[in-house]
Structure 1
Amino acid sequence: MLLGNQSARDALAAAMASGALHHAWLIAGPEGVGKGSFARIAAARMLAEALEPHKLAPGWNVPENTQTAHLLASGAHPDFRALTRLPKDPDKPDEALARSITIAQVRTLQPLFATKPALSPRRVVVIDAIDDLERGGANALLKNLEEPPQGTIFLLVSHAPGRLLPTIRSRCRLLRFEPLEGGDVTHILRQELPDATPDEIDALVRAGEGSPGRALGFAGLDLAALEAEMTRLAETGDPSNAIRGRLAKLLGAKAAQPRYEAFLDRVPSFIAAHAKTLTGEPLRIALDTYTASYELAGAARGLSLDAGATVFEMSGLLAQLARR
């Protein structure tokens, strides 16, 4: 099911219906809002429509019984390619991914571009995300964007389009994706996490900040309990340091690394949301605290600071919100 960003989806649908589809589209916006999923859905629809013109019902759906759907599901469609970061270890595909999409991966497209599309007048290349391209790979791709191969449509997913080569951006039509409404994020989370409690769903929605992908990254970490502790710190100031000590012990253990990372990520956002309710001196304190928490979170990751000590210090920043 497609949720959110209706105007962007409508813009691409209108271009497809016009018969004059631009050869390169930059699908840009925050990470985790469905850009990559939509790029693949759009690619399937483009290929299916090119193979069987005027035979599909309106919308983005490609029925499972079509040739296009069968080929894509089996990974054997001759007119579709998707470039993504590959696993560091090919024998362990479920573990860490490489930092970049390599120039070698981009070069694998060249034999494809040397021929016409196989099944219809169209082929589609998805790059998710183009931000991950090595500089050499970006330059190699630029040549194809400047002189597009016959019948080829590029769908380029970007989380940070401002960092791309200006020459790449200038060759593309922009589809801007925005954060989703809270109700849409809630709907997606309830589908993906049917066993999650309402409190946990609510906490994940807040943490996702309009990004279902970001919210799902916190799943299983009992984020609701962490946020309850953050709220107590901000409301009481924790004069006895009992909450700070408890959190430092809880999150400082090696086995708690995922929850520790979630805590580092959430505290600045929690403070920023809290600051929106304030004025005057409390607002100034909150803004100063936000800056300090953001910098501490960055230092903790970059310098591998002691987890327990970092949690204790970060909790102290939250406690400062109780000052009046």
Structure 2
Amino acid sequence: MILGHDKQIGDFMAAWRSGSMHHAWLLGGPRGVGKATFARAAAARLLAEAAGQVPPESHLAIDRELPTARFIEGQAHPDFRYVERGPNKTGSALARNITVDQIRELSSLFDSTPALSDWRVAIVDSVDDLEPGAANALLKMLEEPPAKCLFLLVSHVPGRLLPTIRSRCRTLAFQALDDDVMASIADFHDVPPALVRGAGGSPGKLLASASLDLEPLRSEALKLMRQGDPSNACRAKLSQSLSARNSGDRYAAFLAMVPALIASEARELDGDARLRALDAYGEARTLSQVAPRLSLDPATTAFRMGSILASVAPSHERV
């Protein structure tokens, strides 16, 4: 199910119907808004239709029981590759980058004869993760593309990519989803509607919030913004909860959630209260970006984020 991206679907399908499909599409936009989901659906539609499994239609989705859909889901489609970061050397986490060897392995796809139709598709999720050698290897493929091939390149920050890669792609821009679409997604996945507000228009963040039980953290954040924390009790509770063992995913999700939550609160305020919220938004956004990169102490970072939230409260409620 792809909601909120009707224009992107229309543009892609119009290009496919025209018979002059561009060989590389750059799917750019915020993290978690559905770019990779779109890429998989686009790949499945093109390969299924090229194989004669579905008639030409205007929509993107295909039946999940079709052979193409099942092969892609099972990572067994001979004319399809999905490239993403693999495990690190110890197998304890994901590697930092997509390696040059991973990109070079795409040659086995494009140098062989297509098996189920005359098209081949590769998704790179995300091109932001390419190490320099991998970026150059991909660029060479984009410069000399085989016939009837399609590259779908997912990017969360397309402005940071090599200009030479961007220039060889058709860009399809994705945006954060509006509240009505997010509410529909929450309802479909049986997610508490209250979590929509802190997701910032990102279905990925919304579903992560539900799986990580972020509702108590969201409620605590709202309490800090509205009631402050004169006794430090709320901040101490946050600090202890988010620095506990095995709480790394909740801690990361909390950091990502707070800026959007403050921005949402700011829209409901005016005057000095809104100015305080906007200042807090800037601080929270910076901290949420810097803390993971510098591996800052989770307990200290959570307490500091709590202080930023409390700064939104009226002055008599703050420390």
With the shorter chain as reference, the TM-score category is 0.7 to 0.9
- Judged with a 3 Å threshold, the aligned counterparts in structure 2 of structure 1 residues 2 and 39 are, in CA distance, closer, same or farther, namely same
- Pick aligned residue for 2:179 from 159, 178, 182: 182
Residue 68 of structure 1 is matched in structure 2 by 68
Deviations 1:114-166 (A, max 9, x none): 34423322111111111111111111111111111122111111111111111
Cα distance in 1, alignment partners of residues 21 and 38 from structure 2: 17
Shift of residue 231 of structure 1? 2.5
- Between 1:108-117 and 1:277-286, the stretch displaced more is 277-286
| Structure 1 residues 48-67: aligned runs within 5 Å | 48-52=48-52, 55-56=55-56, 58-63=58-63, 66-67=66-67
Assess if the C-alpha contact under 8 Å between 2:199 and 2:260 holds in 1: no
Q: Which residue of 1 aligns with 2:308?
A: 317
Task: Report the TM-score when normalising by structure 1.
Answer: 0.85
8 Å Cα contact 1:116/1:151 also seen in 2? no
Contact 1:203–1:223, Cα closer than 8 Å, also in 2? no
CA contact (8 A) 1:204 1:216 kept: no
Q: Cα gap change, 1:231/1:171 in structure 2, threshold over 3 Å: closer, same or farther?
A: same
The answer to whether residue 281 in structure 2 is matched with residue 284 in structure 1 is no
Checking the alignment, whether the CA contact within 8 Å between 2:9 and 2:59 is kept in structure 1 is: no
Q: Which residue of 1 aligns with 2:106?
A: 109
* Residues 27, 171 of structure 2: 8 Å contact kept: yes
Describe the SS at the equivalent of 1:188: helix
Tell me whether 211-220 or 115-124 shows the greater mean CA deviation: 115-124
Relative to 1, partners in 2 of residues 1:122 and 1:4: Cα closer, same or farther, differing over 3 Å? same
Residue 131 of structure 2 corresponds to residue 131 of structure 1: no
Query: Which letter maps to 1:11?
Result: D
Structure 1 residues 321, 67: CA separation in 2 closer, same or farther (over 3 Å shift)? closer
Kept in 1, the 8 Å contact 2:198–2:264? The answer is no
Percent of aligned positions with the same letter in both sequences? Answer: 48
- 1:79 is displaced (CA, Å) by 1.6
Whose radius of gyration is greater, 1 or 2? 1
Superposed displacement of residue 171, structure 1:
0.8
Offset of 1:53 from its aligned partner? 8.2
- In structure 1, the residue corresponding to 2:8 is in which secondary structure? helix
TM-score, length of structure 2 as denominator length = 0.86
On the 8 A contact 2:26/2:169 being kept in 1, the answer is: yes
Match for residue 8 of structure 2? 8
- Shift in Å at residue 44 of structure 1? 1.4
Q: Equivalent of 2:201, from 201, 210, 213?
A: 210
Query: Which residue in the other structure is 1:46 paired with?
Result: 46
Return the letter of the residue paired with 2:15: A
Match of 2:234, SS?
helix
Cα 1:224–1:171 shift into 2, 3 Å: same
Question: Which moves more between the two structures, 70-79 or 159-168?
Answer: 70-79
Q: 1:64 to 1:276 in 2, by over 3 A?
A: closer
CA distance in 1, matches of 2:158, 2:278: 28
Q: Distance in 1 between matches of 2:124 and 2:4?
A: 21
Whole-angstrom distance in 2 between the partners of 1:234 and 1:53: 54
Shift of 1:15: 0.8
Contact 2:123 2:153 in 1 (8 A): yes
- Distance in 2 between the 1:65 and 1:249 partners? 47
- Kindly provide the amino acid, as one letter, of the partner of residue 225 in structure 1: P
Query: For 1:58-93, what per-residue CA distance to the aligned partner results, in whole angstroms no more than 9, with x for missing partners?
Result: 532434564434543443322212211112269x6x
How many pairs align? Answer: 315
SS at structure 2 position matched to 1:254: coil
Say if 2:214 is the partner of 1:223.
Answer: yes
**Separation in 2, partners of 1:40, 1:50:** 15
1:250-287 residue CA offsets vs partner (Å, 9 max, x unmatched)? 44433544444343333333333333334443333333
- What are the within-5 Å matches in structure 2 for residues 25-174 of structure 1? 25-52=25-52, 55-56=55-56, 58-63=58-63, 66-88=66-88, 96-174=93-171
- Kindly provide the amino acid, as one letter, of the partner of residue 234 in structure 1: M
* Counterparts of 1:230 and 1:221, CA distance in 2: 16
Q: Structure 1 residues 254 and 149 mapped into 2: Cα distance closer, same or farther (>3 Å)?
A: same
> Which ranges in structure 2 are unaligned for 5 or more consecutive residues?
none
Residue 99 of structure 1, CA deviation: 1.4
The RMSD of aligned alpha carbons is 2.7
Q: Report deviation, 1:9.
A: 0.5
Query: What are structure 1's unaligned runs of at least 5 residues?
Result: none
